[in-house]
Amino acid sequence: MDFPALPGPVRRQGERMSTRDRRRQLLLSTATLLGALTGYGNRAYAACTLDTLPPGTSTYHCSDSAAVNTTTQNINHDDAEVITNLGFGVDTTLAGGNAITITGDGALSYTDDHMSPLTAAVTGLYIKSTGDSGANYGSITVNTGGDISGGARGIYTRNDGSGFIDITTTGDVTGDTSNGIHAVNDDANGTDITVNTGAGTVYGGNNGIYALNKGQGFVEVTANGNVTGNSTGVSGGIGILAQNLDPDSTHVTVTTGPARSTAATGHQRFQAGTGDLTVKRAPARSKAATTASTPAILAKVPSLSPPTATSPATTATASARTTAATAAISR
């Protein structure tokens, strides 16, 4: 780093510098160096910073635009609450990595009321609750209006705690090679998964929306915009994949607006618990989600056991029901 020349007293050739002049020169040099280093530090500070008050807070506020924030914003804090400020954004397309990574035990949340764009080489928004934190169950809450995209995934959430996952989006969400929205409750004591998308589109290079619950609650997916998967993806992706794997789980419900979920097979749903599997679509004249009492229920499939090689009858029944539900949703 080059520093500017420092002013000093004019001396005749051969004249020695006095003690006073040397002290003044040293002070000026130190001040200039500190100023340069401080300026450099200001240019490198993190966009998402922990609030200073109240003491012991776990709230972070994120600021500055995607033109400034070009590296991953890493937040590792139990019960982290992340809130965006107006004008915030991240773009790691060139630097690589996720746009935002939030990890820690307990209740993690990301709240964006300012349509903050997140663009990433890997995952736009990555959140993982690694377990319960004292009295706070592990849970994940996402509420965002910004466009979120990643070279792999748009939004990735995984909960290893005893709570829920709740995702609400209104902007476009894109995962180029994997899932657009990925939500997994990975703990047997976990509860519910809820995914609500607005008018924005959701696209996944594999599945548009992937919701997998290994806990004891329900899975509910409501899509009011287009949701698209790629049938040539890694696992033959589809528009919406909603699954409940725990025998004690309750129900799976998929509700779509007039815009349809698209891919080779549209929707795939699997319910291993004791509750109902329901697919609904709002009539074309209304974007409101329909209720179970209206004719807009396109398929209602009783609980299905996972098909196995030793139970061909179960396999055939499951296949027939899935085919019927898929045919109904595609009409």
* Tens-digit pLDDT profile for residues 200-221: 999 999 999 999 999 989 999 9
Antiparallel, parallel or unpaired: β 48-50 and 59-62 = antiparallel
Average pLDDT across the chain, whole number: 76
**Is 32 inside a domain boundary?**
no
The proportion of the chain whose per-residue pLDDT surpasses 90, expressed as a percent, equals: 56
- Torsion angle in degrees (nearest 10) through CA of 214, 270, 306, 213: 0
Higher pLDDT, 310 or 19: 19
Whether 212 and 179 have beta carbons less than 8 Å apart is answered as no
pLDDT value for 59: 98
Tokens of 33: 């160096």
Band of pLDDT at residue 232, cut at 50, 70 and 90: confident
The proportion of the chain whose per-residue pLDDT surpasses 70, expressed as a percent, equals: 64
**Is 153 inside a domain boundary?**
yes
Cis previous bond, 295, omega within 30? no
Distance CA 297, CA 76 (A): 43
| Residue that has been written with the tokens 């000026």 in this structure | 28
What average pLDDT does range 17-30 have in this prediction?
Answer: 55
Whether 202 and 172 have beta carbons less than 8 Å apart is answered as yes
**Is 228 inside a domain boundary?**
yes
What average pLDDT does range 273-288 have in this prediction?
Answer: 55
Tokens of 11: 């001396």
Helix (H) or strand (E) holding 313: helix 312-330
What one-character-per-residue DSSP string does 185-199 give? E-STT---EEEEE-S
- Torsion angle in degrees (nearest 10) through CA of 35, 41, 42, 43: 120
Residue 316, phi then psi, degrees to nearest 5: -65, -40
Distance CA 44, CA 265 (A): 47
What one-character-per-residue DSSP string does 23-68 give? HHHHHHHHHHHHHHHHHHHHHT--SEEE--SSTT--EEEE-S-TTT
**Is 323 inside a domain boundary?**
no
Q: How many domains, the chain? A: 1
Amino acid 305 reads S
Tokens of 258: 């007039």
Coil, strand, or helix at residue 328?
helix
Band of pLDDT at residue 25, cut at 50, 70 and 90: low
Whether 225 and 258 have beta carbons less than 8 Å apart is answered as no
CA within 13 Å, CB half, 315? 6
pTM strictly above 0.75 = no
**Is 17 inside a domain boundary?**
no
Domain carrying residue 273: 62-281
Higher pLDDT, 35 or 214: 214
What average pLDDT does range 72-86 have in this prediction?
Answer: 98
Nearest to 127 by CA among 60, 66, 177, 69: 60
pLDDT value for 302: 28
| Confidence check: pLDDT of 240 > 50 | yes
**Number of residues that this document lists for the chain:** 331
**Is 74 inside a domain boundary?**
yes
Distance CA 252, CA 206 (A): 21
**Is 125 inside a domain boundary?**
yes
**Is 23 inside a domain boundary?**
no
- Planar angle of CA 153, 186, 236, nearest 5 degrees: 45
